[in-house]
Structure 1
Amino acid sequence: MKSIAAAACGAMLIAAPALADDMSMADLVAAAEAEGTVTVYSFTSRVFKVESAFEEAYPNIDLVPFDISSTEQIARITAELEAGIASADVAYLADAAIVVGALVEPGHLTGYVPPAFADRIPDNFEAPLMAHRLSTKVLMYNEEAHPDGPPVDNLWALTTDDWRGRVIMVDPSTRGDYLDLLTEIVLQSDAMAAAYEAQFGIPIELDDGIANAGEQFVADLMANDVVFVSSTDDVNAAVGAIGQENPPIGFTSYSDRRDNEEEGWALQVANDVAPAPGIIYPAFLGILENAPNPNAAKLLITFMMGDDSETGGPALAPFYVAGDYLTRTDIPPHPDAIPLDGFNAWRIAPEATGAARQDVADLVLSLQ
């Protein structure tokens, strides 16, 4: 596997060959094998499991994966293209509020829906980029310490003395998905105002300079010494580690419950917390501008959508977990997951989130 530094010194931009819409699967495989390699930037480390499965299926193609957050991907892709460098073929990323304006509209990232799956993915998940799955940033707790359910039933409880210094999340100034979480809380200010009154029994009063109930929550959470860490794994370990008498609570990915047994965690989602436990958002796949290996890129995206077995086979195995919601309509929900129609997280509206996000970022910066 190449280093990230090596990737930054990748091939200079070349004119990408045209991708024939009527290319058969056999022809696509042959063209991809002629290219011999495909490089993917991925916001999840699960891409390394995809690497193993892909190379077993296509031993003549080297899949080169890089685990890079969505925020870093957007900056990296933009910088590389401005420098005339084409290092990667496929981007697997979230950050829907930014990715369309930053990468899709300038033509840096193009959507591709494999023909075999065009009728198995809802239209709203096909454009402007195909959504591979829905991911989350939600409030999680330690179910070993709290076997009867979450220790809070309202987000505003996190601003009380009981939780001072005991709420953990990744620093939103470094990760767009966590900034999107706070932005959605601000956008849902009417619901946050109602939740405040339900928690405290009185209507909310806003501090000077605070525009709405969502902003007040962000301000109160930070005043209550919320702990910012550098990675989701740091949140998971702090919240989920077994053997704790009084563990903290935190915002992380619902799907990280998949690692409970391996890591010694007891993570569980606080799905019924009012007014919502957090956000759910799409994870996109796209082909990068001037991709050096465009046919291998199409083959990789096709592979990542899985096979025709009941749960999608080895390509989807890393993502067929409780807490991830695949966009393919022909794959049944994971049996251990809360059904999507019963999952209470807010679905972000990327355009609205993108419009409000900088103001929320400025608010967080002013409060730090």
Structure 2
Amino acid sequence: MSRHVCGDRPRITARRRYFTAALLAGALGGGAACAPSSGGTTGSDSGPGSAPSATAVVDSGFDLDKLIAAARQEGGITVYDSTGDITKTVDAFTAKYGIKATGVKSKVGDTLEKMTRENQAGNVTIDATFYEDGPSLVGQLLAQKVVFTWIPGTLAQRIPAANQNPLQVLSKGNMWIYNPKLFPDGCPVKNIWDLADPAWKGKVALQDPLGKPNIVEYFNQLKSVGDTRLREAYRAKYGKDLPAGDSAGETWIKGLAKNSPIITSSDDDASAAVASPNQTKQRVALVSNAKFRDVADKNYSMRVCTGMQPWAGYQYPKYAAIATKSKHPNAAKLLVHFMLTQEGVNTQLGTGGVPGNPDLKPGAFMPDGLTDWNKQLLVFDPAKLGRDFTDLQSMQDLWRLNNG
């Protein structure tokens, strides 16, 4: 049985919101897909790809000066994001271009539901979103033409094709952490399979996977792309091979779920369970790199599990999408372009991260113990996003049945 440090009610609320959003999007999909759009215009003129589509709109005639002029004619915009850093982004955008931008922090399930409702009603207030759940973006918002992907032509040859639709603007990480004051010799977890071992029963904290979609995606990606390395790590720990017919990802997920993990309603609670100043219990936790700001702000003691095999966590991408019925499509495009520049993406790299535009520098801050984002963290395969969406329910069920 899992342990809940913040009670059951927040967990149920988060889960219900996500399921409600998924069901709603499916129900509204037919109407949303048939709606006309003003969101696919290129620069200040209509052009190829002006109709909403699950296919990315590459603005081959991109002209930044023309886009700025057109955007200033449209007025202010509103963008939803999963992080409070969005306020820094919109403030910098407004200061640079003189276009009022409002940033709203919103969970992905709530954003999905609101954008789908607005599209169906033809009353769009959310012009764009920086969105952290690739499966529902691909499987619902893009597929049902609630949003579309726009890419400035000048960057189409620079951004890897795999990261163009949906358009990845940056990635951050969820990583396994420990308290170096309680473990002065280093992370006590050397292998990902340790987390499913009885020795760590009740000592692993993480946000409820049923309320945090990118953890479920992590599980699906472990199953689809992580099998070989998980098997290698299993052999290293147990000195024998995992049976060939068993899924390494599912076996590990079941083991973690059955190991009485400490389920929290937020990353704040998960990090506190490990790193708070008066913490005496020896635990590890899965938290976002954003929580490393608490080292300075709250005197937390935390470090990434350096050397943990095969990964010390995973990268989770953030994508940009524009509402197909936005009344301010050019201003929304300008905001997307801004996030593909160093000035723009820096507003969200205060605790580290990797820009989607490979020409840009990663965040200067590196969480203690993390030395290489790409080698130490599992990198999601964007080609699996559609499959991750299809497998969402079955993976949630796998977790629920084994964690009950």
Look up the equivalent residue of 2:260 and give its one-letter code.
D
> Residue 104 in 1 paired to residue 142 in 2?
yes
Look up the equivalent residue of 1:330 and give its one-letter code.
D
Change (3 A) 1:84 1:121: same
Alignment check: 8 A CA contact 2:180 2:303 kept:
yes
Task: Please point out which of 228, 234, 256 is paired with 1:196.
Answer: 234
> Residue 168 in 1 paired to residue 168 in 2?
no
Deviation at 1:233, TM superposition (A): 2.3
Change (3 A) 1:346 1:131: closer
Question: What does residue 74 of structure 2 align with?
Answer: 35
Deviation at 1:202, TM superposition (A): 4.5
| TM-score normalised by L of structure 1 | 0.83
Task: Please point out which of 247, 272, 292 is paired with 1:257.
Answer: 292
Alignment check: 8 A CA contact 1:14 1:292 kept:
no
Question: What does residue 360 of structure 1 align with?
Answer: 395
Question: What does residue 38 of structure 2 align with?
Answer: 16
| TM-score normalised by L of structure 2 | 0.76
Look up the equivalent residue of 2:197 and give its one-letter code.
T
Question: What does residue 143 of structure 1 align with?
Answer: 180
Task: Please point out which of 177, 181, 185 is paired with 2:222.
Answer: 185
Question: What does residue 62 of structure 1 align with?
Answer: 100
Question: What does residue 92 of structure 1 align with?
Answer: 130
Task: Please point out which of 372, 375, 390 is paired with 1:339.
Answer: 372
Task: Please point out which of 215, 220, 237 is paired with 2:255.
Answer: 220
Question: What does residue 112 of structure 2 align with?
Answer: 74
CA–CA distance in structure 1, aligned partners of residues 72 and 324 of structure 2? 20
Change (3 A) 1:143 1:51: farther
Question: What does residue 6 of structure 1 align with?
Answer: none
Deviation at 1:39, TM superposition (A): 0.7
Deviation at 1:347, TM superposition (A): 2.6
Alignment check: 8 A CA contact 1:184 1:279 kept:
no
Change (3 A) 1:118 1:240: farther
CA–CA distance in structure 2, aligned partners of residues 23 and 334 of structure 1? 27
How many residues are aligned here? 345
Change (3 A) 1:134 1:15: closer
Unpaired segments ≥5 residues, structure 2:
1-34, 46-58
Instruction: Specify the SS of the correspondent of 1:35.
Output: coil
Look up the equivalent residue of 1:319 and give its one-letter code.
Q
Task: Please point out which of 246, 266, 272 is paired with 2:301.
Answer: 266
CA–CA distance in structure 1, aligned partners of residues 64 and 395 of structure 2? 46
Deviation at 1:284, TM superposition (A): 0.5
Change (3 A) 1:150 1:40: same
Alignment check: 8 A CA contact 1:257 1:266 kept:
no
Unpaired segments ≥5 residues, structure 1:
1-12, 307-311
> Residue 83 in 1 paired to residue 121 in 2?
yes
Look up the equivalent residue of 1:216 and give its one-letter code.
T
Deviation at 1:352, TM superposition (A): 3.8
Task: Please point out which of 346, 350, 358 is paired with 1:329.
Answer: 358
Look up the equivalent residue of 1:166 and give its one-letter code.
K
Calculate percent identity across the aligned residue pairs: 25
Q: In the TM superposition, what are the counterparts of 1:310-321 in structure 2 within 5 Å?
A: 312-313=342-343, 315-321=344-350
Deviation at 1:119, TM superposition (A): 4.5
CA deviations 1:331-353 (Å, max 9, x no partner) are: 23445542344334243332343
Deviation at 1:251, TM superposition (A): 1.4
Instruction: Specify the SS of the correspondent of 2:349.
Output: coil
CA deviations 1:93-114 (Å, max 9, x no partner) are: 1221231121112222211123
Deviation at 1:218, TM superposition (A): 2.0
CA deviations 1:248-294 (Å, max 9, x no partner) are: 21112234324431232233322421232332242111111101211
Look up the equivalent residue of 2:175 and give its one-letter code.
V
Question: What does residue 297 of structure 1 align with?
Answer: 332
Instruction: Specify the SS of the correspondent of 1:317.
Output: helix
Alignment check: 8 A CA contact 2:173 2:377 kept:
no
CA deviations 1:30-50 (Å, max 9, x no partner) are: 322222210101121110111
Two-structure CA RMSD over aligned residues (Å): 2.7
CA–CA distance in structure 2, aligned partners of residues 105 and 186 of structure 1? 24
Change (3 A) 1:282 1:244: same
Question: What does residue 268 of structure 2 align with?
Answer: 233
Instruction: Specify the SS of the correspondent of 2:279.
Output: coil
Instruction: Specify the SS of the correspondent of 1:347.
Output: coil
CA–CA distance in structure 2, aligned partners of residues 219 and 37 of structure 1? 48
